[in-house]
Amino acid sequence: MRFSNLLFNSLKESPKEAKIVSHQLMLRSSMIQQHTSGIYTWLPLGFKVLKNIEEIVRSNQDQIGCNEMLMSTIQSSDLWTKSGRYADYGKEMLRIKDRHDNELLYGPTNEEVITDLFSNYVNSYKGLPKYVYHIQWKFRDEIRPRFGVMRGREFLMKDAYSFDLDHDKAVKTYQTFFMCYLKTFKELGLQPIPVKAATGAIGGDLSHEFQILAKTGESELAYDPELVSQDLLEKSFDEITSMYSASDEMIDKSKSNVVIGRGIEVGHIFNFGTKYSEPLECYVLNNEGKKVTPYMGSYGIGVSRLTAAIIEAFHDDKGIKWPFNISPFKINIISSNDKFIDIAGELYDTLSKKYINISFDDRDLSLGRKIKDSELIGIPWSLIIGKNFDEKNEFEVINRSSGEKFFVNKQELENFQFEQYTP
RNA sequence: CGGGGAGUAGCUCAGUCUGGUAGAGUGUCUGCUUUGGGAGCAGAAAGUCGCAGGUUCGAAUCCUGUCUCCCCGACCA
């Protein structure tokens, strides 16, 4: 993408409504624009990031045999009345009436819809287990939206649902998703702390929140420091969950060797048994031909929230520092002045064949301004063609994260390991 | 929903107390000079002062109503 074609306008000052750094940087770098309280338009840069995160989440779901599908945003109230949640959900649910006066709602979650769908498609224990997910916009009419997309009313969520024959199998499934989540977050550059959670409105006997440590996190948590210092992917579910972690009121202050911090909840998983399958009359026939009710679980990841959470984790006073695979652009080509614009353009064409998502700042602006924008947006690499090219035929490559500079000739540039980037 | 604050140019904000021609910085546009870290000079465009009503000769400013946004709390991916 050439900057001359990009819908982008960096702001030097933060709009005053933004209180936390991720919100400020998202506004300053033209990632989002607020439409109304808690509802945002995703501008080109923000949308690219959102899709990159979505893709990482998607590939990890696919790896555990989870089926991607797409359920509607608008739902009928019928199923919710059946499950008993139409009344329970209260004002957080956005209720709508169509022209026939039918009661509809903008889905805040999908347990009802998927349970109903499942009961129509799977009738035998042989069809179990089944995992399905979708990545879809949700709406919860929060009392007080805040912090930009961190707590919006409209948000993009990956929600998966599992169906198992019995409780033990459902627990195994739960563990599979648990480990899948750790891997997903690691690919996003994050190491969240799995916190035992109260099961709340969704109910069930087993639930974990995945919290990213951040000063601006909304909830307090206490945890065993080993949950942060060790690679959890090398441990088993039992080893991990035997370490101490607790949130808010569940924190045991008498515990020693425990760290108190604040966290951003980026994922939440539940094992809730037959809480929905039973009232919605979802069953399969077992090997004796008898009706049994599947055991279910649901598994959420806040995709739009993750954009903000990742910025909270990776930024400095100059702007965002995107991990390579999340960044809207991987390499930003900058010509220091118009003299090099053609050479820069050729380089852009060449590199575009090798990498996806290269950008070329072809605007007629001073070098300083272009570098500032590149830093603000958080592009992992800037590639400058300027005086060093003139004098020594060298390109200058700057790493956003470390600030390191490399001077390379054309041959070296071709072999340069741009992917080796971690903030 | 309770408590607090704010709506004036794209953005940040002054002006409101004490009514009298709508302001600054930044950004935008044009021209020239520039071009290695948000360049310089000159010029220009840009706001029904959130909306509605009222008081007044006259309202951004005073009064009434209303809408929206933000912050603190209880709920949540």
For chain A, percent of residues with pLDDT exceeding 70: 98
| pLDDT tens sequence across A34-74 | 999 999 999 999 999 999 999 999 999 999 999 999 999 99
Pairing of strands A259-273, A295-302: antiparallel
Tell me the CB-side half-sphere exposure of residue A133, using CA atoms within 13 A. 24
| pLDDT tens sequence across A276-332 | 999 999 999 999 999 999 999 999 999 999 999 999 999 999 999 999 999 999 999
CA of residue A36 to C1' of nucleotide B53, angstroms: 27
Nearest CA to A27 out of A41, A39, A40, A14 is that of A14
| pLDDT tens sequence across A326-363 | 999 999 999 998 889 999 999 999 999 988 899 999 99
Q: A140: helix, coil or strand?
A: coil
Give the largest CA-CA distance in chain A: 83
* Beta-carbon contacts of residue A86 (< 8 Å; ≥ 6 apart): A77, A80, A93
Which nucleotide is nearest to A306 if distance is taken from CA to C1'?
A: B77
* Beta-carbon contacts of residue A216 (< 8 Å; ≥ 6 apart): A20, A21, A22, A147, A262, A264, A312
Please check the confidence at residue A199 and state whether its pLDDT lies above 70.
no
| pLDDT tens sequence across A209-233 | 999 998 888 888 889 999 999 999 9
Which nucleotide is nearest to A387 if distance is taken from CA to C1'?
A: B36
Q: What CATH number has the domain spanning A323-414? A: 3.40.50.800
The amino acid sitting at A66 is: C
CA distances from A310 to A42, A190, A210, A216, A378 (A): 16, 8, 14, 12, 12
Which nucleotide is nearest to A219 if distance is taken from CA to C1'?
A: B76
CA of residue A366 to C1' of nucleotide B55, angstroms: 55
Report how far residue A129's alpha carbon sits from residue A127's, in angstroms, rounded to the nearest whole number.
6
Closest protein CA to C1' of nucleotide B72, residue: A144
CA of residue A379 to C1' of nucleotide B48, angstroms: 43
Which nucleotide is nearest to A396 if distance is taken from CA to C1'?
A: B36
The C-alpha torsion from A112 through A117 and A121 to A122, rounded to 10°, is -10
CB A388 within 8 A of CB A40: no
The C-alpha torsion from A216 through A222 and A224 to A225, rounded to 10°, is 30
> For position A202, what pLDDT does the model report?
58
Please compute the mean of the pLDDT values over residues A159-181 and round it to a whole number.
Answer: 97
CB A150 within 8 A of CB A23: yes
Fold of A31-313: BirA Bifunctional Protein; domain 2 (3.30.930)
Report how far residue A267's alpha carbon sits from residue A277's, in angstroms, rounded to the nearest whole number.
23
Query: What average pLDDT does chain A have?
Result: 92
Please check the confidence at residue A203 and state whether its pLDDT lies above 60.
no
> For position A216, what pLDDT does the model report?
82
| pLDDT tens sequence across A188-198 | 999 999 998 87
The amino acid sitting at A152 is: G
Which nucleotide is nearest to A202 if distance is taken from CA to C1'?
A: B76
> And the tokens for A384?
């400058």
Closest protein CA to C1' of nucleotide B36, residue: A367
Closest protein CA to C1' of nucleotide B38, residue: A369
- Residue A413 CB-density burial (10 A; 0-12 exposed, 13-18 middle, 19+ buried): middle
Report how far residue A378's alpha carbon sits from residue A332's, in angstroms, rounded to the nearest whole number.
10
CA of residue A8 to C1' of nucleotide B23, angstroms: 29
Closest protein CA to C1' of nucleotide B37, residue: A368
CA of residue A15 to C1' of nucleotide B8, angstroms: 16
CA of residue A319 to C1' of nucleotide B37, angstroms: 15
DSSP letter at A60?
A: H
CA of residue A140 to C1' of nucleotide B66, angstroms: 26
DSSP letter at A250?
A: G
| pLDDT tens sequence across A9-23 | 999 999 988 989 999
CA of residue A218 to C1' of nucleotide B22, angstroms: 43
Q: Which neighbouring-strand residues pair with A265? A: A211
* Beta-carbon contacts of residue A157 (< 8 Å; ≥ 6 apart): A135, A136, A137, A138, A300, A301, A302, A303, A304
Please compute the mean of the pLDDT values over residues A84-104 and round it to a whole number.
Answer: 90
Q: A401: helix, coil or strand?
A: coil
CA of residue A317 to C1' of nucleotide B69, angstroms: 27
CB A303 within 8 A of CB A156: yes
Alpha helices in A257-404 (DSSP H): 303-313, 341-354, 367-377, 387-392
DSSP letter at A125?
A: G
Bases of chain B with protein Cβ within 7 A: 1-2, 10-13, 25-27, 34-39, 68-77
> For position A311, what pLDDT does the model report?
95
Would you say the ipTM is above 0.90?
Answer: yes
Q: Where are the domains of chain A?
A: 31-313, 323-414
How many Cβ atoms are within 10 Å of A218's Cβ, its own excluded?
14
